[in-house]
Chains A and B, each alone.
Chain A
């Protein structure tokens, strides 16, 4: 948004162009553009070790800052949240007589969060968010906050589906201020808290991602209403969000200090809905007053009987085995 068109011409590269780094001398052949961001263009490129994503920008500062974040990501053990960083270099572009900074990262192929849910079904919303919360937990424990968390930055990849983040430009050290954000997912915009980088900031954004999945067109703050109240209303009045009401409200109010706490609550709200739907067809009496906790208790009973039968069977088999053994010894 900041760069005018003339300046960003230097980032436009035709397919087939060979980009060679000035410092590390590695070459990459551009295949096609993958996406256009606020400060640069991402291309799919071919390297000696396979397909990679190449980001090129005329803004040296933002490129360097993204590289810094990706480097820190690679130090977070086992976190697959962001793409891994493969190379950083400058490309001397002779037709512009200038050095253009670029970096190479792992190519993550897949669908964006919202289009994946559209195709595969709403039941994936909660599951993908559980994955996201586990990754956030690890990121937070390492002292970082993701910042600009939104469906557009999330990609679902592979079999089994796994959520990944493709844009790490907003990642901030905890205690500093959030530099990049998108209004709908920003708690400051909704008057629900500060723009300080804290775990609660990301958790608010996760809640907004779930809300966004039910309101694909998003909505803006109303002038005559408290922002958090407006969000709570939006959750209450939407049948798809009703089941997440408790966890969403908690995240909007900043109740969860850690991603793990929110994750626990989300697991509860998802599994509660599933037991509810699976047990309804079996119900014969009073289907209107089926309280969730009650259905759970009722399901436990057959499980207990099953356990006793199982134990008895095992005991019988062990006894049979022993008798056979003794019989064998006697012979």
Chain B
């Protein structure tokens, strides 16, 4: 049986993009490829930038992902919550699509009686626990992020701890933008273990520009092409038969 995988980009940034393509357009492109972009906005204690907030929410919305704005102290907990929520959201979307095929175009989980809803959710839970997950972490290393990077590193190690407790496999890869020569630079190739971040992060240099759009575009090309979300849907059918839906 071919296994499907969930693909996510986790974008950690503290503000507005100022170079290259519109990040919202790139997020929409990601959605077309079955990849969600989850955005975490890391704030200083007292700055709330209206324009930055809009962009953060916009990117998530355009790609079907989740966004959250936090102060850097709460980052660890938020990163794992956002990743999980996005996973459930995607899986729920897949299951809803499945339900519509069976029960008619207008049906979604909310329209089912509470008892049936519970059964459907158990399927979603089961999938969330066992599905293979690919997370491409995209870290903004513009100058203002410099002193937040140690917290970002902690948060990513914490994310790994949470996700590796699942039954399904995980692979992570870490990119930073702006890179040394290019707009985006890979600092860690696909791996189940983020341990080496501890040695990589202190060496990172921070730059002035924030090319969020180009970074998302680049990141999309790094996902393994061989598996698609489609295969995930075919896998659901088996779960549905089992649970007698």
Contacts and interface: CB of A to CB of B under 8 A. Distances in A.
Given A2-B85, A68-B122, A194 B109 contact: no
B68 A2 contact: yes
Interface of A is mostly: mixed
Interface of A: 1-2, 23, 60-61, 64-65, 67-68, 71, 88-90, 99, 101, 103, 175-179, 183, 188-189, 194-197
Contact of A176 (B92, B113, B124, B167): B167
Contacts of B76: 183, 189
B88 A176 contact: no
A195 B80 CA distance: 12
B121 A68 contact: yes
A305 B122 CA distance: 63
Contacts of A178: 162, 165
Given A23-B113, A64-B114, A188-B158, 16 more contacts: A60-B109, A61-B92, A61-B124, A64-B118, A64-B121, A88-B118, A89-B114, A90-B114, A99-B110, A101-B114, A103-B114, A176-B167, A177-B129, A178-B165, A183-B76, A189-B158
B161 A68 contact: no
26 contacts: A1-B78, A23-B113, A61-B124, A64-B117, A64-B118, A65-B121, A65-B125, A68-B118, A68-B121, A71-B118, A88-B114, A90-B110, A99-B110, A101-B110, A177-B163, A177-B165, A179-B84, A183-B77, A188-B158, A188-B161, A188-B165, A189-B158, A194-B164, A194-B165, A195-B161, A196-B165
Contacts of A61: 88, 92, 121, 124
B92 to A, nearest CB: 7
Contacts of B165: 176-178, 188, 194-197
Interface in B61-85: 66, 68, 76-78, 81, 84-85
B166 interface: yes
A175 to B, nearest CB: 7
A194 B162 CA distance: 8
A245 to B, nearest CB: 27
- Nearest first, the 5 A-B pairs at minimum CB distance are A177-B165, A195-B165, A88-B114, A196-B165, A177-B166
Contact of A175 (B122, B161, B167): B167
Contacts of A196: 165
B164 to A, nearest CB: 7
A19 to B, nearest CB: 15
Nearest to A198: B165
Nearest to A98: B110
A175 B167 CA distance: 8
A103 B124 CA distance: 20
Contacts of B77: 183
A210 to B, nearest CB: 23
Contacts of B122: 68
A176 B130 CA distance: 9
